[in-house]
Structure 1
């Protein structure tokens, strides 16, 4: 036959029982104990007849020139693991794997597939893993992957897929991991997701998705991790992660969302995802974190929002509801010049805080609670080294990078923050000074009030004395109408008045 298949040596290999590892001709490594043939090269086709082919469980062919996979592969009827990588495979014929009921793993990565035709991967009851990544697949025909109850992982990443038909996949009740990353999808393939009722991880990173629409993930009732990084997403509907189930509408029970390197300009509406543990938003254009942006997922542990070049504002209380945070990445936000007071105050579990490559000038101790902190980075910030930073020079048991340098004042420029001792930067106890100022202000106010009272008494002392005398005189009369007036006042005829001079004569 024109083509040569180097695995013919196995007829001899499996006829022996005294040696566990044997040397195969034709650049193959054969292991009798595990019934594997690894790292074969020079393979261009499979023979029609192969001695003891049914003994082989693992076949690993790397770096060959196999243009087409045909039904000749069925001679390995007990094969469990088929690995053909970087071997120039352009086509898999229909029914190639028919009857290979023991197959658990098919790995055909780094080949030259362009199409996955109908009936290519169907009716394989033991298949658990199907990896077709790093090919040239642009089209998945109807019933391309169908009726495999043991299948748990499908990898179609790094292809050229732009369209997936709604019936390309079907009867796959246990698939937990679907990787469609780094293709050419422009929308979330909502229609196919109904075929994966137990989908746990969905990879859509590296596509061309612009908008995440409402109910795009409504069929993903079991989804825990969603990868949407590296797209062109600028809009996310506030109903994108809503599941419409019998009994009402509810949010996904998702744990991790990856949205790095998109085009978001606003914080995404995720407030209903109360099971969220990790949120990754680095590399977007979000300009602000509002005070109520993260109130809907109080159990969040990992928050990463690095290198948002537009970020200039974090509002007070933005993290107030996140009392389980362990990791915060805010590094690379060059527009971030200040942080609101007590921003990290409630973070008693926070162990990693990265704020390097921002534009911060200070980082006072009052920003947070630091009992659990292990790693703090303030690298490459224009820090103004005054007494507010001196607390960082104390030993806290943290891992702090050596690039925390002073940018000002001039006499401390390029000085490490960790070297801010009393000799270099003597500091006044601002608490004591503040208390003294407060006490002084209170004393001054009390003094002014007392002086004003005394001045009023001195100014009106004669009138007050006369009023007191008049009060005593009036008590001695029998309800006589009276008024107090000075002696120059005019009195109406018939009124009985009492002059001030009368009171003065009584004395």
Structure 2
């Protein structure tokens, strides 16, 4: 394995690795490399593991990797890649089993580029890319992929039908830290078999946590085939749509880490101990935050209106604008035990 000395960390000459034909591992990560000569790896015909992670390369010219026909492990994390094209990887990279494209700026899964690794790739890491959705057959052709990591997808909102459809040998998937996820299609983990019949993927390890996922479709996976599941720190809505969880083996595998966020009366309760009769869709929360704020404003307006009306009446009465006593109409009022006497003294001097 070869590590770079400090004085070559910002630039490499095309002759830097001349004569190193027996080298099998090369780590160029965490340097300040922004451009690499096309022939840099010309002599590294036996290289099996290469890391270019966290350099500012931005683009990845295909000729750079062409000599590396024995490559099995390729780390392209944090390069600032905005896109990958079908010819971004040379066609002779047929032995790559482990690939990381994490923490780049890819807004869609580079499906066409990944087909170069269709028969060899077993592990793929796409963590930290700004995907907004995972469309149908996003991983087309990767029939031998066993492990998929999709973490810190901060902009992901939807996972569509058949999104993982071609991953027929997938064993484990990690979906974590997705604060904007709104919908996972119930058939996201289904593929199409003979005669276009829908076939569910059989996973052993399923992690979907630290997200805004509110409900879990019962048909998403064959849950009884799982060996490990992690579903903690989601925004579970504990209503009638989650009853099936209580009646399945999933509740024992998930343990006490499935905690209700909604409805408000169950917030903070562990789904495992919530009685099934409490999981209803008939009793919505009394008020949402928006409704509560709206009601508060209505009460404030009513209160202010009543106060203004009272003050206005008092002012009008004080000035004699309301219930004004006609001048000379009466001089006194005497209240008895059962009678009221009004005395009217008229001035007759003008008669």
TM-score normalised to structure 2 length: 0.66
Q: Deviations over 1:362-421 (max 9, x none)?
A: xxxxxxxxxxxxxxxxxxxxxxxxxxxxxxxxxxxxxxxxxxxxxxxxxxxxxxxxxxxx
CA contact (8 A) 2:257 2:270 kept: no
Cα 1:74–1:313, aligned 2, differ >3 Å: closer, same or farther?
A: farther
3-state SS, counterpart of residue 168 of structure 1:
helix
Change (3 A) 1:197 1:211: same
SS in 2 for 1:110: coil
- When residues 292 and 338 of structure 1 are mapped into structure 2, their CA distance, relative to the original with a 3 A threshold, is closer
Aligned partner (choices 90, 112, 124) of residue 34 of structure 2: 90
Contact 2:163 2:188 in 1 (8 A): yes
Partner of 1:236: 184
Match for residue 216 of structure 1?
Answer: 163
Name the CA distance, whole Å, in 2 between partners of 1:287 and 1:209.
20
- In structure 1, the gaps of 5 or more residues are 1-35, 45-63, 315-332, 344-507
Whole-Å separation in 2 of the counterparts to 1:299 and 1:285 = 16
Q: Map 1:333-372; keep pairs closer than 5 Å.
A: 334-335=268-269, 339-340=273-274
Distance 1:181 1:304, change over 3 A: farther
The secondary structure found in structure 2 opposite 1:259 is strand
Distance across 2 between alignment mates of 1:69 and 1:313: 66
User: Residues 177 and 234 of structure 1: is their aligned pair in 2 closer, same or farther, counting only changes over 3 Å?
Assistant: same
Partner of 1:29: none
TM-aligned CA distance change 1:101 to 1:296, over 3 Å: farther
Q: 1:70 to 1:203 in 2, by over 3 A?
A: farther
* Secondary structure of residue in 1 paired with 2:111: coil
Task: Give the Cα separation in 2 of the matches to 1:296 and 1:307.
Answer: 17
What SS is found at the alignment partner of 1:230? Answer: strand
Where does residue 41 of structure 1 map in the other structure? 5
Query: Do 1:214 and 1:239's aligned partners in 2 also have CA atoms closer than 8 Å?
Result: yes
Match of 1:262 in 2: 211
Shift of 1:293: 2.9
Count of aligned residue pairs for this structure pair: 269
Given that 1:282 and 1:308 are in contact with CA atoms closer than 8 Å, whether structure 2 keeps it comes out as: no
Indicate which of 130, 139, 151 corresponds to 2:96: 151
Equivalence for 1:278:
228
Q: Please state whether the residue corresponding to 1:43 is helix, strand or coil.
A: helix
TM-score (norm 1): 0.47
Structure 1 distance, partners of 2:78, 2:101, is 8
Alignment match of 2:126 (pick from 171, 174, 180)? 180
Deviations 1:276-302 (A, max 9, x none): 233322222212163313656669745
Q: Judge conservation of contact 2:80–2:105 (CA < 8 Å) in 1.
A: yes
For 1:282-431, list aligned pairs within 5 A: 282-288=232-238, 290-293=242-245, 301-303=253-255, 305-306=257-258, 308-310=260-262, 334-335=268-269, 339-340=273-274
Q: Distance in 2 between matches of 1:138 and 1:211?
A: 21
CA–CA distance in 2 between the matches of 1:205 and 1:337? 25
Cα displacement (A) at 1:341: 6.5
Q: Which residue of 2 aligns with 1:245?
A: 193
Residue of structure 1 equivalent to 2:56: 112
The answer for the alignment partner of 2:79 in structure 1 is 135
Distance 1:213 1:118 in 2: 31
Q: SS where residue 17 of structure 2 aligns?
A: helix
Asked if the contact 1:225–1:255 (Cα under 8 Å) also holds between the matched residues in 2, the reply is yes
CA drift at 1:229: 1.3
Q: 1:206: which partner in 2?
A: 152
Which deviates more from structure 2 when the two are superposed, residues 77-86 or residues 296-305? 296-305
Check the 8 A contact 1:117/1:141 in 2, yes or no.
no
What is the CA distance between 1:163 and its match in structure 2?
A: 3.4
202-211 or 176-185, which deviates more: 202-211
Q: Deviations over 1:47-93 (max 9, x none)?
A: xxxxxxxxxxxxxxxxx323x57465344222211111222011234
Mapped contact 2:256–2:272 kept (Cα < 8 A): no
For residues 175-201 of structure 1, the C-alpha deviation after alignment (integer angstroms, 9 at most, x for no partner) is 110000011111226555123221011
Q: Does 1:225 align with 2:225?
A: no
**Deviation at residue 103 of structure 1 after TM alignment:** 0.4
**Structure 2 alignment gaps of length 5 or more:** 278-351
Q: Distance in 2 between matches of 1:299 and 1:250?
A: 24
1-side partners of 2:231 and 2:251: how far apart? 17
Pair member with larger Rg: 1
